[in-house]
Structure 1
Amino acid sequence: MLLMTALLYAPALQAKDNGGVHQWTTAKSGGYSYKYVAGDATKTRFYELKNGMTVILSPVNKEPRMHFYIAVKAGSKTDPATHTGLAHYLEHMMFKGTTAYGTKDWKKEQPYISKITHLYEEYNKTTDEAKRTAIYKRIDSISGEAAKLAIANEYDKMMGAIGVKGTNAFTSFEQTVYTEDVPANAVDKFLKVQAERFRDPVFRIFHTELEAVYEEKNISLDNDNEKVYEVALAELFRNHNYGRQTTIGTVEHLKNPSLVEIRKYYNKYYVPNNMGIIVSGDFDPDVMIKKIDDHFSYMQQADVPKYTFSPEQPITAPIVKDVYGPDAEYATISYRMPGIHDKDALLADLVGKVLTNGRAGLIDLNLVKKQKLLRASAYTDILIDHGYMVLQGNATMGQSLEDVRTLMLGEIENLRKGNFDEELLTSIINNAKKTLMQQNEKYDTRAYALMAVFTSEDDWRNNVTYAERLSKLTKADIVAFANKYLNDNYVVVYKRKGEDKNVVKVPKPAITPVETNRDAQSAFVKMVVNTPTDAIKPVWIDYNKDMQRGSVGPAEILYVHNADNDLFRMSYRYKIGTRSERRLAVLAQYIQFLGTNSKSAEDISKEFYKLACNYGMRVDADHTTITLEGLQENFDKAVALLEDLMANCKVDEEALASLKARMTKARADARSNKNMIMQGLVNYARYGEKNPFNNVLSEDELNQLSGAWMVDMMHRLSGISHRIIYYGPASMTTLTTSMKAAHKLPGMFTAAPEPVQFSFREQKDNEVLFADYDMVQSEIRWVRNVPGYEPGQQPVIDLFNNYFGGNMGALVFQTIRESKALAYATNAYVGLPQKKEDPYMVSAYVGCQADKFNESVTAMNELLNDLPSVQNSISTAKESLKKELETERIMQDDIIANYLIAEQRGVQDDIRKLVYQATDKMNYDDLKKFHAANLAAKPYTYCIVASEKKVSADDMKKCGPVRKLTLKEIFGY
């Protein structure tokens, strides 16, 4: 499950006076009383059931789906000090079923579960290693017997069969949240399952799931960012569990779990008056509240202990800490902030935006825009009891981390002295209005905001009135806040490159693979899956009706109307990318530092931010895209500002020199990033020595790059073939008129340079591409090119991915994680080509402990070479695929994005219709035939990132001849 130690959600924070007409109002409908905030555009209703459960309903009737959050106000903050990580453990176990599902025969299974529970208590209290080993052998043996009666992943498969997607959960400081995206016609089935799920969960298949949590812990030990975060919070909060405990727990506690303590925690906190059900999507709230009440009224209210803590002692002098690891170095400065109910909480949030808002904050303008640092940002996270503000900066060439600290503290000093424009506050308010529109635009983002308000014990009025309340704050308020909270009372953590000698991985216990009984299905699941539902007819895109075409001179317009709000998103999509001109990748960065004769780069950033609009430039292999988004009321001004920059930007040699230094440093940092290294290996596997990943300027070419060339290229860009893509409230006629006036075009486009062609490799034999990296885990990715794109193959590919390795109910996850406990993260799929002339890509992945390398490779290879036949899983995969297609609605500018992909693949119509019509006709034989033709007994390139001290060359040679690539070969510089 997804572990969240901090939600980067900007909450609508507490204020003394909400003011205006936005007051809480009570109403009654459908036999239930509820509260709502007057003037709330979302018309969200807040109910409290008789047993104290909170239900929050926010209808958005655009798609026949709804997003559910079932949230518990308990997380790592309330973990027992002797059993840290317990809330997160419990989150994992809530997917294992109950006495009704997840089991073939509960009466026979129950004695084994009891024995395992008692053995873990004995194990927990035993310190003698020989005795512990003997106890664990008994746990492993009895768990194997118990597993014969369990049905692994039955919850996930059941959710898939009824059309639910996005099944997951996360744990944080003060919340454990279960999340699903549900078809509108499956809500009765879904609620029946959830009511059963929380009635009396059974903590079965524990020791293999425990191993998955071990792997999750090992992943965190390889994450330098996580280590920095933990050190900073530990120093900020010495008396509070925000700092004293981590969400995932200590190694010692992970090694000594207690099922008894997990049950106690469940009984204490998973009670209705401590839980909330949050729903947004396609439903009638009068009907929905009754359904939820009917299903959850059985839950009994109980007293929930309040978390108590001692006040923190003031930090009177900077606290300096070092963290070591292989990733690039950086510095963080952290300050303690007030909690969410404090009168200063809103100011804390505003101060974060004054420092960083992406465009016109102090750090944005003074450190990023002026390129004094490689990267820099700030954010504020306000929790219930305390908050914290973090400034993070990455050094550029020739800087020390102490230099980074000094520069960031300089912006704190500017804040304290009031060295910022008061006009910035107006801009922040305008952007807050835009952010609120974006939040409410889709049902899933709206549901998330409501969930965050519930678990943080905030007031929804504060969200509704956020911009209004910001407008009451002044520059003087900000300066006073900064002088009160931002002094020498900070924690600075230097993330330095080097070996972390304190890492202790969670050891690998001896686990015998357990039965998953993937053919079995409980009576409860059969009943749920077979319950009839009202049909929902699928809706396909008609590219000729759902999208309009127009033109301005030689440029085609692709247009979709926005009838929902005042937001627009527009882009110029040029037919030129790095395959034609590698220097464009540098231009995409350089443009943000350029001004014109009348405006500096800083002026341009501030003006865009004031308009609540934003521009950007991105370059891929085949296209250069300049984007513009924001409030439609400011569309013409924003376009004029962008066009002026494109047409009149001028060379800034000082900015270019700084950019080259920063890019040199960023490129060096990328070579220290294991994710980037793996991306480079995969590209090398697909294309060979010369590939799109390392198709970059050499160091000499970068150093010799001329600012004059880049500025000239920007001036000439509108003369190169491109399309105008628009989603917004303006009509096509209005848009065309605006574009004719603002977007100057030639009578005929100039052709772009001929692109470099990269040839895909044909793998004839197994081989290994290896990169050495200092890490606890090992990461293995299987890669294979399969030429011959054929749209008619899409149905079997989609079904195969659903069945084989694309989700938690699929064969790969069940086998490698659930049965053999080899990895936390694993998947396998057949990826579609970007263009019709490209091949498919077979990809498989396992991230595991280094000492599980051989077992993991063997387990994945067995699946790649022999496709098991599991009829129930095939039926589930088909039902899941069909229901997703029936309820999926491609809307807004996603229509244009879908069309562009189809165009590149040479597809004329919405291919989902073909998949839907073919799904019922397919069976195991079709999947087996596809598997045999494209996966089984085929050569693969194994891309491996691991420490050569932990994974031996001899083990890798079992996969094929090993080639250890240098970073120069991978990155091209």
Structure 2
Amino acid sequence: MKKLLFFLTALVVLGSCSKYKYDEVKDDMSKTRIYTLKNGLKVYLSVNPGEPRIQTYIAVRTGSKNDPAETTGLAHYLEHLMFKGTSKFGVTDPEKEAPLLEDIENRYEAYRKMTDPEVRRKAYHEIDSVSQLAAQYFIPNEYDKLMSAIGAEGTNAYTSYDVTCYTEDIPSNEVENWAKIQSDRFQNMTIRGFHTELEAVYEEYNIHLSDDQDKTINALFAKLFPNHPYGTQTVIGTQDHLKNPSIKNIKEYFEKWYVPNNVAICMAGDFDPDEVIATIDKYFGKWQRGNDAVQPEFGEQPAITAPVDTTVVGQEAEALWMGYRFDGASSLQLDTLNIIESMLSNGTAGLIDLDINQQMKLLYAYGGIYSLADQSVFLILGAPLQGQTLDDVRAILLEEIEKLKRGEFSDDLLPSVKNNIKLNYYNSLESNQQRASMFVDAFINGTPWEQKVKSISRIESITKEQIVDFAKRHFTDNYVTVYKRQGVDETQKKIDKPEITPIPTNRELVSDFVKEIQNSKVKPIKPRFVDFKKDLTFGDVKAKGDDGATLPYVYVKNKENGRFSLSFKYDFGEESDVRYNYAAEYLDYLGTDSLSPAELKQLFYKLACSYSISVGPRSIYVNLGGLSESMPEALKQLENLLLCARVDTAAYLQYVQVVDKARSDAKLDQQTNYSNLCSYGIYGPYNRNRNILTTQQLVETNPNDLLDLLRELGNHKSTVLYYGPMKAGKMASVVAENHAIPSKFTADPEARHYVAQPTPENEVLIAPYDAKNIYMRMYHNEQHEWNPEQAAVQALFNEYYGGSMGSVVFQELREARGLAYNAYAAYMMPSYKDEKEFFFTHIITQNDKMIDCVSQFNNILDTIPQSESSFQIAKDALTKRLASQRATKFGLINTWLYSQQLGIDYDLNEKIYKALPSIKLDDIVKFEQENMAHKTYRYIILGDEKELDMKAIEAYGPVKRLTTEEIFGY
């Protein structure tokens, strides 16, 4: 290993064409430059000029692993507080605010040591009172306003075991403003708005309580890492610690870990790296390095010499998780593990894919590497079919591990895996986000960039014998199993709603710092919208011979690499015949007269191509993609499969059992219940989630009839959609050679469309789900026709009212009152010209906060809060985003398709952009008052009636109770 690392280091080239020295790696396709400023700050820069935007990540090498044991969840809570501002923004008078914030901090230190409930209640009331005094100087969500002012997207952050990372996607002309904001934020963070933000964290905690997957991974890690924070504490923290926070500890944590020698700035996009690094040095160069940012060491974990079992209980469906412990993410073990991941579970032709999923031995199964800085875990999981036990699941999964250890896999598998890993890597380089994510991983895990870059060349030399030997040595009886069983989790505790006085939103106040950013002069980015006549090529695919018809095509050339995407779009879907859904799924388990199902999957994987059939309400897409050189053969094989798929009655009956079990499991999942309830509430009983064949109908269906639907699909007219490196004429000839075109097309079947229902009167729809929180949507529909002349007003309304952290909804529901983790609202334009517009609000909140949420939503609907400054920021945000966004690649075709559905022949974004300058706040207020204020609403609620104030709910309208069976349709 030492020799190999020395060799890799020797490949590093020191950049010398810039004032700033940087490291780069020879033959690195991303052309990444890695700078280290004098204060230790790492900067990863990669130029990708596809569109004038930059993905930025600021990664701090600290996560829940670094939380003090007595205040777990601290890293995650600090992440939230980083959005509250500094002495420059988020505040009107920092000098007057400071003593009040200090008082709040001291009161929390006393509060966390109190045990008497009445004493704690009184102390919390006093904290709430002092918080009201401090809040008069607080300008909530000014950080989001700053990001909106520069046209940023994706404003967010995340915390995991080893990392806290802050994300922004910015226009390429706003680097200086972005750096000015971030440098202040990371050096001068101020903790304010503490108690309302803590409530948002509680709401996030409640969401985790209902997520059995979170509980399962925590239980697995507890057994794998008994002497390491990965296993002894969780990212979200404990309920007791969240209820007893320490601002003092948070400040000390910030001062220890948020220092430049523990931080990396990761950027990928369209920029001049010399200019960007100079700007970063200008604003971050004086940031003082820390003296104590040394990662803790936890020593060796106890050896696992025999299988270890544990159990998790929750109301979601049963499943089984297994985990093997490995070295940390910077280890060269990861090369082999990444190959093993694809050999077992690549989604197409891995051992688990073919032996378990293809043969439907389990409901589902997959596996993969979960890499962390100190140690990694290889996960394998599966879910049982009806009548199977979790022990059956484990036995079936372990058999695939044994096959790997015995070398019982096709000789084609390892070379195919290597080719597909390379293809996936090349594809990832097209994305700014994926490039920047690779930088974050390398920095956090301590992986030298040259090691990361050269992983593709290293895996080339790994042999089958080495894989088998590795598996024999490392996949033994050293695993942990978590049995996720269904039942009531008695460990869950209710969190009582605290008495919080809403803090003022101070919507009209604007700090001088925000004004400075707003008034800064940057070179504008000239917008570029799709010109269908210039950006797309239209033509016809002519059938072989003289008697065939023609298929229209839409073509965009790929000038970057050898990857293609090809689709045949049919203008009908499940609204015409819901059986297409089942035909597409059933096809996945079939082969042809010449190829078994497994051989077919292996062939496509070897070709580095994949296919799919996507069935929507009004369209069917037959998709093919991968390496362009393989397209003729892949299309030939796909066409043969569609026309000559071999009926397998036994496979069909097994498929029906899989569908039936998946349906049963879906009824146990909270988010799936909510999705189905919303569909029912908006569209009524005839909606996409209920438009299904029952299990009995599936049993009675002749599988050959399903395949006939696919065989006859080509008799209907389709539109060929292509993005790839072939010339248009060559593409058309390849399609004509390998895709049968009839002499006359069959008429498309008629459809019964899903129709969003009107809301003529107030009513409440409630469906049951036992959880510590409710999911709620308020829905209003007056059956308005869509008018493209109103598109700009609608888009700007959504930006101002409900679409961001600076919006009215977020500020009033979360920031001022701590009522939710997420809350938003949207006025929805249709997807098709014959559909109607509608409006909805959304919130997830604690059971005892629901009425407060309804009351506040109705208040801000009937009397929309108005702020000229907030409006201008929303307008600037939308304008700058539209100017800097670009439809590229297959996105050009998608823009055209969307316009076709709406019955227009232009890029709608261009119309919106040109109309924005003339829109005023009064236009937004008028639009809201005419379409949302004092209207009738359908309140769509998923929750446990025993935990809700039903009398208060009944005051909003008559209650209609729906059963789980009614919202699912089975």
TM range (shorter): over 0.9
Q: Contact (CA 8 Å) 1:682, 1:783: kept in 2 or not?
A: no
CA-CA distance at 1:216 after TM superposition: 0.8
SS at 2:630's partner residue?
helix
Q: Secondary structure in 2 aligned to 1:763?
A: coil
1:938-953 equivalences in 2 (<5 Å): 938-953=935-950
Find the partner of 2:617 among 587, 605, 621. Answer: 621
Residue 871 of structure 1, aligned match among 855, 868, 873:
868
Give the match's secondary structure for 1:261: helix
Q: Structure 1 residues 838-847 or 491-500, which shifts more?
A: 491-500
Show the 5 A alignment for 1:187-206.
187-206=175-194
Contact 1:22–1:37 under 8 Å retained in 2? no
Q: Any conservation in 2 of the 1:15–1:346 contact (CA below 8 Å)?
A: no
Worse-matched range after superposition: 862-871 or 947-956: 947-956
**Aligned counterpart in structure 2 of residue 696 of structure 1, from 683, 686, 692:** 692
Question: For structure 1, which segment, 242-251 or 315-324, has the greater mean C-alpha deviation from structure 2 after superposition?
Answer: 315-324
Supply the AA of the counterpart residue of 1:122: A
- Residue 541 of structure 1 and its aligned partner are, at CA, apart by 0.6
Which residue is equivalent to 1:560?
556
Cα separation, partners in 2 of 1:146 and 1:573, compared to 1, 3 Å? same
Shift of 1:672: 1.7
Per the alignment, residue 357 of structure 1 pairs with 346
Alignment-derived partner of residue 804 in structure 2: 807
Amino acid at match of 1:912: N
**8 Å contact from structure 1 (residues 22, 465) kept in 2:** no
Note the C-alpha offset of 1:24: 1.0
Q: Which amino acid aligns with 1:488?
A: D
Structure 1 residues 730-761: Cα deviation after superposition (integer angstroms, max 9, x where no partner): 11011011111111110221112211234432
Tell me which residue corresponds to 2:282.
294
Counterpart Cα distance in 2 of 1:586 and 1:21: 53
Q: How far off its partner does 1:14 sit?
A: 11
Q: Which deviates more, 102-111 or 495-504?
A: 495-504
Residue type of the partner of 1:700? Q
Report how far residue 558 of structure 1 moved.
1.1
1:259 match: 247
Q: CA deviation at 1:961?
A: 1.0
**Per-residue displacement from partner, 1:521-549 (whole Å, max 9, x unpaired)?**
01111111111111111111111111111
Instruction: Give the structure 1 partner of residue 585 of structure 2.
Output: 589
Residue 686 (1) aligns with residue 675 (2): no
**Contact in 2 for aligned 1:64/1:184 (Cα 8 Å):** yes
**1:670 maps to which residue?**
666
**1:423-476 C-alpha deviation (Å, 9 max, x unpaired):** 211111111111111111122221122222212211222332222211211222
Alpha-carbon distance in 1 for matches of 2:727, 2:3: 40
Shift in alpha-carbon separation, 1:759–1:886, aligned structure 2, 3 A = closer
**Alpha-carbon distance between aligned partners in 2 of 1:610 and 1:459, rounded to the nearest angstrom:** 31
List runs of 5+ in structure 1 lacking aligned partners: 1-12
1:712 and 2:708 aligned: yes
Q: RMSD between aligned alpha carbons?
A: 1.6
The match for 1:395 is: 384
- 1:413 maps to 402
Residue 186 in structure 1 maps to residue 182 in structure 2: no
1:223-302 mapped onto 2 (5 Å cutoff): 223-302=211-290
Are residues 1:964 and 2:941 paired? no
User: For the residues of structure 1 that align with 2:780 and 2:594, how far apart are their CA atoms?
Assistant: 53
3-state SS, counterpart of residue 532 of structure 2: coil
| Whole-angstrom CA distance in 2 between matches of 1:443 and 1:427 | 27
More off after superposition, 204-213 vs 670-679: 670-679
Q: Give the alignment of 1:794-873 within 5 angstroms.
A: 794-873=791-870
Deviation at 1:18, TM superposition (A): 8.7
Contact 2:149/2:517 (8 A) holds in 1: no
Aligned AA for 2:156? N
State the secondary structure of the residue aligned to 1:137. helix
Aligned to 1:31, which of 19, 23, 31?
A: 19
Alpha-carbon separation, structure 2, partners of 1:531 and 1:687: 47
> Match of 2:309, as an amino acid?
V
User: What is the distance in 1 between the residues matched to 2:411 and 2:296?
Assistant: 40
Instruction: Tell me the distance in 1 between the aligned counterparts of 2:962 and 2:584.
Output: 29
Is the contact made by 1:18 and 1:469 (CA closer than 8 Å) also made in structure 2? no
Is 2:739 the partner of 1:743? yes
Retained in 1: the 8 A contact 2:5–2:451? no
Matching residue's letter, 2:361: K
Answering whether residue 532 of structure 2 is matched by residue 543 of structure 1, we say yes
Residue 9 of structure 1 corresponds to: none
For residues 842-898 of structure 1, the C-alpha deviation after alignment (integer angstroms, 9 at most, x for no partner) is 111110000101101111111122211111111011101110111111111011111
2:308 to 315, 319, 322: 319
Contact persistence 1:379–1:389 (CA under 8 A): yes
The Cα shift of 1:763 comes to 1.0
Partner SS for 2:217: helix
Residue 138 of structure 2 is aligned with which of 150, 155, 160? 150
Partner Cα distance (2:704, 2:10) in 1: 55
Partner Cα distance (2:692, 2:648) in 1: 23
Name the residue aligned to 2:912.
915
TM-score, structure 2 as length reference:
0.97
Distance 1:487 1:708 in 2: 45
SS at match of 1:151: coil
For residue 471 of structure 2, the aligned residue among 482, 491, 503 is 482
Counterpart residue type for residue 886 of structure 1: A
Letter in 2 for 1:624: I
Please identify, of 774-783 and 320-329, the stretch whose mean Cα deviation from structure 2 is larger. 320-329
- Taking the aligned partners of 2:448 and 2:714, their CA distance within structure 1 comes to 48
Give, as a single letter, the amino acid of the residue that structure 2 aligns with 1:238: P
Residue 64 of structure 2 aligns with which residue?
A: 76
Secondary structure (helix, strand or coil) at the match of 2:713 reads: helix
Matched, 1:368 2:364: no
Kindly tell me: are residues 777 and 68 of structure 1, through their superposed partners in 2, closer, same or farther at Cα, counting changes over 3 Å? same
Residue aligning to 2:878 = 881
Within 2, Cα distance between the matches of 1:86 and 1:267? 13
1:124–1:758: structure 2 CA closer, same or farther, 3 Å change rule?
closer
> Quick one: which amino acid aligns to residue 381 of structure 1?
Y
Measure how far apart 1:256 and its partner are: 0.9
Pick one of 470, 477, 481 that aligns with 2:459. Answer: 470
Q: Return 5+ residue gaps in structure 2 as ranges.
A: 543-549
Identity of counterpart residues, as a percentage? 39
> Counterparts of 1:93-172 in structure 2 under 5 Å?
93-172=81-160
Q: Does the 8 Å CA contact 1:48/1:54 hold for their aligned counterparts?
A: yes
Judged with a 3 Å threshold, the aligned counterparts in structure 2 of structure 1 residues 14 and 205 are, in CA distance, closer, same or farther, namely farther
Shift of residue 419, structure 1, vs aligned partner: 1.3
Whether the 8 Å CA contact 1:14–1:458 is kept in 2: the answer is no
In the alignment, what sits opposite 2:497? 508
Name the CA distance, whole Å, in 2 between partners of 1:351 and 1:507.
47
Equivalent position amino acid for 1:365 in 2 = L
Residues 312-363 of structure 1, C-alpha deviations (whole Å, 9 max, x = no match): 1112222222222222221111111222243423222222221101111110
1:522 aligns with 2:511: yes
The residue number in structure 2 matching 1:7 is none
Relative to structure 1, the CA distance from residue 334 to residue 73 in structure 2 (aligned partners, 3 Å threshold; closer, same or farther) is same
Report SS of the residue matched to 1:920: helix
Contact 1:763–1:939 at 8 Å: present in 2 too?
Answer: yes
TM-score by length of structure 1 reads 0.97
Distance in 2 between the 1:514 and 1:532 partners?
34
Equivalent AA in structure 2 for residue 165 of structure 1: E
Q: Per the alignment, in what secondary structure is the counterpart of residue 16 of structure 2?
A: strand
What CA distance in whole angstroms lies between the structure 2 residues aligned with 1:885 and 1:588?
Answer: 37
Counterpart amino acid of residue 282 in structure 2: D
Question: Which residue matches 2:894?
Answer: 897
Q: What code does the residue aligned with 1:584 have?
A: Y
User: Which secondary structure state, in structure 2, belongs to the residue aligned with residue 943 of structure 1?
Assistant: strand
Change (3 A) 1:372 1:580: same
Provide the rounded CA distance (Å) in 1 between the counterparts of 2:309 and 2:487. 17
Distance in 2, matches of 1:342 and 1:885, equals 43
Number of residues of Structure 1 aligned to a counterpart in Structure 2: 961
